[in-house]
Amino acid sequence: GAGVSQSPSNKVTEKGKDVELRCDPISGHTALYWYRQSLGQGLEFLIYFQGNSAPDKSGLPSDRFSAERTGGSVSTLTIQRTQQEDSAVYLCASSFPTSGGSYEQYFGPGTRLTVT
């Protein structure tokens, strides 16, 4: 596809259930990021993947959050035992090395998660 895609676009789940959010980056982009955007807040960094290197998980808010990236392409963000405070828009972005090192990010449309 031409851009970053995410699925589902909306997800409503009950408190305590597990959810999986999917991101398809732009083909050839080696870097992939997950962010969380809560109402009225900026972007909260969650996790960063770069090629085959170990991911930077420093932004994950708790051990209920995990992510994987298979084959250096598609990524899945999993939230276990969801809580109401997990309600937010989850954004995925990808980028690629450029000659100038600008590493501009290309964002997907996001998944809006609502925990009831």
Partner 1 sequence: GEDVEQSLFLSVREGDSSVINCTYTDSSSTYLYWYKQEPGAGLQLLTYIFSNMDMKQDQRLTVLLNKKDKHLSLRIADTQTGDSAIYFCAERGGGSYIPTFGRGTSLIVHP
Shortest CB 83 distance to partner 1, Å: 23
Nearest by Cα to 107 from 32, 1, 12, 18: 32
The three-state secondary structure class of 81 is: coil
Pairing between β-strand 88-95 and β-strand 106-107 as defined by DSSP bridges: antiparallel
Burial of 108 (0-12, 13-18, 19+ CB in 10 A): buried
Residue from the set 26, 82, 110, 113 that interacts with partner 1 by CB under 8 A: 110
Rule CB under 8 A: choose which of 48, 88, 94, 113 binds partner 1.
48
The least CB distance from residue 81 to partner 1, in Å, is 27
Under rule CB under 8 A, residue 90 binds partner 1: no
List residues near partner 1 by CB under 8 A.
4, 31, 33, 35, 40-43, 45, 48, 50, 56, 91, 93, 100-110
